[in-house]
Chain A
């Protein structure tokens, strides 16, 4: 009986948090656009969930927009290759750290809770620089 209800409790917990590792979702995608996850190439589709380590890739007609669980928002422009290198976030305390790598292309950002959780808790890497995000709305462009 006790064991049964314990099982039920853990089952309910599992159902209650169906996507523990999900860090964000794609909200729009047009043209040639994909998510590279390890060796897998997933089409960038509306509603696609994102995980730490994913690469966002767009062709010359491609665009992706996405939101993160800390309320950060991204818009990825054409000819881009961008990695969500690190994303750690405690949704109870709203603290974490977030590192994005812009290898090439363009990215518009509206930063969310993580950037407010500590000095340079949100960072962007370009081939030549490391940026510490202290708010809020900005664009990064890295030509080929």
Chain B
């Protein structure tokens, strides 16, 4: 009784006194790092690089401790629980030189519609990708144009235009790595990202 009171009081005290940083594992299992710098960005940095650790921030060097068996406190767990879900990506392929979707891609449209419906306040990024035929600059223009065409197509099929935007990624993000100037139907694609 006494002891738990003391521990609680200590926690409250610690909570009042210091800002804190908790580093968690990534959703895919790995983990990143956060560097603690002085407010003006100069001086020595301290890197918080172990997942499931808590750094108390204040004047001077931060103290870093493992979260331990207790893990997150209920406040922190509630905060993590209220994060929006990760974005979901759908890839569409087209018959060359047309805006006709291939037979295997056509069902994606209804899947995208369902995904949007399940996400309040959804926004949709239509991203065009090219293969490596032609110059990088030309492919930026081409991929942007393709993304805009597909965005118009989606709008015609009843998708809300005000939540969509078009982006051209050119040949920066190949589905399949190739040499330059290689014709690749797999790389010519549009990705629809629902957030």
Q: What residues of chain A have their CB less than 8 Å away from a CB belonging to chain B?
A: 12, 15-19, 22, 25-28, 46-48, 63, 65-67, 69, 71, 73-75, 77, 91-94, 102, 106-108, 110-111, 115, 120, 125-143
Contact = CB atoms under 8 A, between A and B. Distances in A.
Nearest to A64: B82
Contacts of B21: 131, 138-141
Given A138-B22, A139-B72, 8 more contacts: A75-B84, A120-B35, A126-B19, A129-B57, A130-B40, A134-B33, A135-B32, A139-B79
Interface residues of B, number: 63
A106 B79 contact: yes
A129 B79 contact: no
Given A73-B86, A127-B19, A129-B19, A134 B166 contact: no
Nearest to B84: A27
B92 interface: no
A65 B81 CA distance: 10
Contacts of B25: 137
B121 A26 contact: yes
Contacts of A66: 84
B48 to A, nearest CB: 8
A134 B33 CA distance: 5
Interface of B: 15-27, 30-41, 45, 47, 57-59, 62, 72, 75-76, 78-80, 82-84, 86-87, 119-121, 123, 125, 140, 144, 148, 151, 161-163, 165-170, 172, 193, 195
**Which 9 residue pairs spanning A and B have beta carbons closest together?**
A135-B32, A132-B35, A47-B121, A136-B32, A46-B121, A27-B84, A139-B22, A130-B37, A75-B82
Contacts of B59: 128
A137 B21 CA distance: 11
A135 B26 contact: yes
Given A93-B172, A128-B39, A130-B37, A138 B75 contact: no
Contact of A75 (B20, B37, B83, B121): B83
Nearest to A102: B19
A123 to B, nearest CB: 8
A129 B164 CA distance: 37
Given A131-B21, A140-B19, A91 B35 contact: no
A28 B121 contact: yes
Contacts of A93: 172
A108 B77 CA distance: 10
